[in-house]
Amino acid sequence: MRSAEATLSEIIGAAGAHVPRLLALVEERLVLLAAGHGPVLAEHAGETIAAGGKRMRPLLVVLAAGPHAGRERELVAAAAAVELIHSATLVHDDVLDGARLRRGAPTVWARAGRDVAVATGDLLFSRAFSELTAVGSLAAVRSLSRATSALAEGELLQRQDAWNGSVAIERYLLRCELKTARLFQAACEMGAQVARLSTSQIAELGGFGRGIGLAFQLLDDVLDVAGPASLTGKHRGTDLLDGTVTLPLILARERDARLAAVDLRTITTPAAAEQLCESIEQTGALRESQARALQIVAEAKLALDGLPLENGQRRALNLVADSVAERTA
């Protein structure tokens, strides 16, 4: 499997020189937006932004717009707004989950407590929509607003489903769409909107983003069960300890009556979670989960075929989809 750095380099190489330049401007803008709101919030918002991550959502904004989109200021603002929303949700998720580490570093909740963490997330949310006014597109505001509402709805569903081993696959997939896929969709839509593409092209690119976002979440859930801590930055079974029911567990319970009888509230230690992960893996549920995700990636890539994209743009978007698929390859 290629490293994340190698994959990103390949994507940027395919897309053209405008991509690294725009992404660098997005980084500069994020730093500025996190500052200027009092020393406490500025510190924690700045550290949240500086923690980095893949920046996949801003990348999708830039790639969906294409190499000749122009409107550089609007494109940077849209990309920054999407990343601010993503960062805000991570801060709030850490509060809800009581997570002490994020990407190997202490979370805002662990460093400064619940109140500061909630305020930091709220600040990032507010700065995102303030930044989006620079885009001057009501459609872009609607796209991000819909995605943000979906995030809240998805989080509520996840809390309602906690420790419920009888969650249906359809409800799980809806939760993944709301919590993850809709923001990927919004990123692609906003890039296309800034580029003034047609309504049908915006919808097609949004569908591509939704597909790879859904697959991203499914494979993330596979990694929680199968991935080594060196890759995921957390112990196996972290979701199980939180009571979060994911596709591997749902499928494993269908295949093994002993797992169906497990009360998830009894999984209270990392050792117990590790043992349950081993049992899930033995049922073949991980392979089936991965196969479903890879099929979604393949369908998302097919959605690009009917779009009038430049060769470099098409190849870069396909490489993004491939990078999602390779998370467990």
Name which residue leads in pLDDT, 244 or 49: 244
Structure confidence by residue, pLDDT tens digits, 197-237: 999 999 999 999 999 999 999 999 999 999 766 555 567 89
CA distance 42 to 33: 9
CA distance 20 to 116: 33
- pLDDT band for 16, please (50, 70, 90 cuts): confident
pLDDT above 50: residue 329: no
Structure confidence by residue, pLDDT tens digits, 80-133: 999 999 999 988 888 887 878 777 678 888 887 899 889 889 989 999 999 988
Half-sphere exposure in the Cβ direction for 44 (13 Å, CA): 26
Name which residue leads in pLDDT, 97 or 183: 183
H helix or E strand, kind and range, residue 34: helix 18-34
Question: pTM for this structure?
Answer: 0.93
The percentage of residues in the chain with a pLDDT greater than 90, rounded to a whole number, is 66
Structure confidence by residue, pLDDT tens digits, 254-305: 999 999 999 999 999 999 999 999 999 999 999 999 999 999 999 999 989 8
List, in order of start, the domains of the chain with CATH numbers. Answer: 4-325 (1.10.600.10)
Structure confidence by residue, pLDDT tens digits, 128-182: 999 988 788 889 999 999 999 999 999 999 999 999 989 999 999 999 999 999 9
CA angle, residues 178, 296, 249, in degrees to nearest 5: 65
CA distance 40 to 61: 30
